[in-house]
Structure 1
Amino acid sequence: MQQSTQDNKRDFLRQIVTLVAIIGAFVVNILSNIFPLNGLSIGQISNNLFKNVLIIPANYAFAIWGLIYLGLFAFGIYQFLPSQKYDSDLRNTGYFLVIASIAQSIWVYLFLSRLFVFSVVAMLLILLPLIVIYLRLNIGNQLASRQKKWFIYKPISIYLSWISVATIVNVACALYFQGWNGWGISGEMWTAILLFIATAIAVVIVMQRQDIAYTGVTVWAILAIAIKHWNNPLLRNVALALVIALVLITIFKIRRN
């Protein structure tokens, strides 16, 4: 009986801390745009300091944060319901989403403070916990109720996919700020290489897990890069080719199953 009471307390603590961490990350993100540190918002820093970093997508692509936070709030509220207190999947996620949410807030501070190398570390502290959650939930490889898919699986898939792309962008920005010469390889070629890497990861995900949410976000990001560099034939054509290939592979995999 005592053990059961302790488990209940631990479950409730996990639920409340997870929800508070999500809300906290959202508030920090909003405040960073209303009252930007050092006078420049994240978008303004990207458009000014990193205007020559070709892997950064068009500004409209960042509107996906609205969908990400909508999903995270859905996750936070759903996991807080009394009926979900003992859910084994949610117990397996533990406090990893809390770590990711706290790291998200830290990343905002570091990026706005122009500590870009340290911001890469913070970004990895968002990415790695999300990978752990994704693998522990075994998304795409196990049956689940419709509610669980919409309120747990898809929010994590969307968040992880965007952070995967964001990590690549963050590393590119940090290297650019440090004056790295790219080993003599042009910025266009590096951008094409990074696009291939992002696409390859999405292909592995869709082939192994049929995760349309993850793939869809990657398509969104790469298409935004193509649109931003529409007047650059190399980047535009490479990005569009990868988008088409990724969409066709996804359709083929879904129809085959």
Structure 2
Amino acid sequence: MSQTAHGSSPHLVRRIGVTVSYVICLVGSMIGVGVFGGTPISEAAGGLLSTDATHLAPASPAFSVWTLIYVALGAYTLWQWWDRRDPRGIGWWVALSLLLNAAWILSVQADLIWVSVGVIAVLLVVLARTFATLLGTRPRSTAEAAVADGTVGLYLGWVSVATCANVAAALAGAGFTGGGYPEVWAVAVLVVVAAIGVTLAVVGRGRLAVAATLTWGLAWIAVARTDEPYSMGVAVVAGVAAAVVALSALGLRLRAERVPT
């Protein structure tokens, strides 16, 4: 009895750790939208993360995706209490991503824009590591595929786009103008993001969650560039990038489903 209890103790600590991290993340998100008197993210750091701050800033409706991501993370938090043993070993990685999420919001609130770049870069690495871990083992059920693989995919896809926007904001705050050609730099970054999206589709064998939020973010960058700062070139490239990522994932998913396992 004592051996069983002792053996389950690390799993209990992990479940509690994920849950506490999720609560901290939720509180941080509420601070980020001004619920507790904090400055909304779009107005913090001198407005560097607002829709019209850079050529890589998505339009404001894009950020509604966080509602879906937080709901999905909540579903994962609840599910891991039922799953108990975390055989695929992602629990602590998810907990770390939740704490980094909160740290990013607080750093922006404190006008520490370059600190926020460092935080979101680490968050991106953590999510990529978690995504790679999930690719190494198949989900044991449809529920696990949704709350584990699906949640991490949604999270990773959006943070990939958000990282680019964050770096662009920090550079703008430092006075970098791309040598007078900010649109050229924006197009180059969008091409890289599209390449990353296609790569994730290939290694993920057409996993749709990561492609969905990547496509979402790119599409809203396209929409945003029909307004200030206006750039039809960036809008077109962002739209094409969104289509390439979406079609790559869909094509690979259909191909994977036709191949017998």
Query: What is the correspondence of 1:72-91 to structure 2 with a 5 Å cutoff?
Result: 72-81=73-82, 84-89=83-88
Partner of 2:54: 53
1:116-156 superposed Cα distances (whole Å, 9 cap, x missing partner): 111111112322222221111227x7354101011111011
Runs of at least 4 residues of structure 1 off by over 6 A? none
Displacement of 1:36 in angstroms is: 4.2
Q: Show the counterpart of 2:259.
A: none
Change over 3 Å in CA distance of 1:3–1:135 after alignment to 2: farther
**What is the rounded CA distance, in whole Å, between the counterparts of 1:65 and 1:149 in structure 2?**
20
Instruction: Give, in angstroms, the shift of residue 249 of structure 1.
Output: 2.2
Give the distance between the partners of 2:148 and 2:250, measured in 1 at CA: 23
Match of 2:184 in 1: 189
Do the aligned partners of residues 232 and 197 (structure 1) sit closer, same or farther apart at CA in structure 2, a change above 3 Å counting?
Answer: same
Q: Is the 8 A contact 1:226 1:237 kept in 2?
A: yes
Structure 1 length-normalised TM: 0.89
Partner of 1:126: 123
Distance 2:139 2:44 in 1: 43
Specify which structure has the higher proportion of helix: 1
Change (3 A) 1:220 1:109: same
TM-score, length-scaled by structure 2: 0.88
Q: Are the aligned partners of 2:198 and 2:244 in contact in 1 as well (CA < 8 Å)? A: no
Give, as a single letter, the amino acid of the residue that structure 2 aligns with 1:251. L
> In 1, distance between residues paired with 2:237 and 2:135?
32
Q: 1:255 to 1:189 in 2, by over 3 A?
A: same
How far, CA to CA, are the matches of 2:54 and 2:135 in structure 1? 35
Q: 2:197 aligns with which of 180, 196, 202?
A: 202
Q: 5+ residue gaps in structure 1? A: none
Q: Name the % identity.
A: 24
Q: 1: CA distance between counterparts of 2:13 and 2:224? A: 44
Measured on the aligned residues, the alpha-carbon RMSD in Å equals 2.0
Aligned residues: 249
Q: Distance in 2 between matches of 1:9 and 1:150?
A: 27
Paired with 1:236 and 1:250, the residues of 2 have a C-alpha distance of 21
List alignment gaps of at least 5 residues for structure 2.
Answer: 257-261
